Amino acid sequence: MPEEQVYRIDHFLGMSMVLNILGVRFANQFFEPVWHSGTVDRVEIVYDETLGLEGRGGYYDKAGALVDMIQSHLLQVLALVAMEQPPKLNEVELRSNIAQVLRSTQVWNGDPVAASHRARYSAGKVGDRELPSYADEKGVDPKLQTETLAQVTFEVATARWHGVPFVLRSGKAIGKYTTEVRVHMVPAPEIPDFGGAPAADRVVLDLKTGEVEFRVTMNGSGDPFKLEQSTLSVKKEPGELLPYGQVLRGILEGNPLLSVRGDIAEECWRIVDPVLAAWREDKVPLEEYPAGSSGPEGW
C-alpha cells in the first residue's frame, strides 16, 4: 500500500496537542530564541496514571510501560518538543522533521543500563481504591517481570540539543495523575545582594488539558531583595473533538498529517531496543513501589 494511504493511529497526536506544542515553540519570541542547549538544562516528559490494570492484564503483561507508552506516545512528544520548525505544516514536512529528530535520538551516553529504571507496583491505595500487587492482578504472569513504571533518559544528538537529557517516564497506580512536558531552564547567574542564586525557571505543558505554565523567578512579595518563583498559567479551551476523534477525522478526510509514518515507527523501536535487551537480560533491577506512591525512592 502507498505510505500516504496507511494510517498508524496514535491518539497522543491529536491536532490540539500537536498545535499547542508547535505554537509555544515557534509562534512567539519568548521561547524559540532560548529553546536550545545553551539555556535548557533538561526536558522531562511524564505520563503517570492513577489507574491500575483495569482488566487489561492480558495485553499489558506482554507489553509493559516501556512499550505501551515510551516507545510510542512519549517518543512522538519528544520529537515535537525537539524538532526544527517545518517549512510547511503538512504531512510531508511535519513528519519528515519528526523523523529527523528520532534518527538523532539514542539512549543517554549509549548506556541502557545506567540510563533506565523499571519498577512495578505492590499492594496499596490510590485515592479511595485499594489495589492488589501487580503480580496478583488477573492475567499477570509474575515470571515475566513486567514493569508498570518505566523511566529512560535519552539524548538528541543535534547541535541544538547537545548535552541536554530528555527524561521520559510513565507509570501506573501512581498517586498523582501527571501528563506534562517540563522544560527546565539553566538558572540565571547570581545577582549580588538578592539573597542567593535564582531558582531554575521552567515551562510546563499539560498534554491532557493544553494548559501552559511558566514558572519564573522574580522579586518576592513584600521584600524586593528576596527572589521567589511565581507561576503564570494559561488555560486552554478543549478542541471540538477528543484526540481519537481528531485522528479519525484525518482518516476520513484523507489527511495523514497525524498518522505515524513507517520510518518513524521503526525509529521508535530502534531507540528503545537496547533498553529492552538490557531488561530481558536482567541487567536493570525490577524495583517495587506501593500503589498510590510517587514511585521508588531516588528516581
- Which residues have a catalytic role annotated? 73
Q: What are the CB-based long-range contacts (under 8 Å, 24+) for 125-134?
A: 125/291, 125/292, 126/50, 126/52, 126/173, 126/174, 126/175, 126/291, 126/292, 127/50, 127/292, 131/52, 131/173, 131/291, 131/292, 134/52, 134/53, 134/173
Residue 33 is classified by DSSP as G
Task: Tell me the C-alpha distance between 91 and 254, whole Å.
Answer: 11
Q: Which amino acid is at 254?
A: G
Task: Tell me the C-alpha distance between 286 and 154, whole Å.
Answer: 20
Task: Tell me the C-alpha distance between 238 and 133, whole Å.
Answer: 36
* Beta carbons within 10 angstroms of residue 123's beta carbon: 15
Taking a C-beta distance cutoff of 8 angstroms, is the pair 165, 155 a contact? yes
Short-list 173, 174, 181, 161, CA closest to 74 = 181
Taking a C-beta distance cutoff of 8 angstroms, is the pair 284, 119 a contact? no
Strand bridging mode 212-219 / 202-206: antiparallel
Instruction: Tell me, letter by letter, the H, E, C secondary structure of 214-231.
Output: EEEEEECCCCCCCEEEEE
Which phi and psi angles does 82 have, rounded to 5°? -100, -10
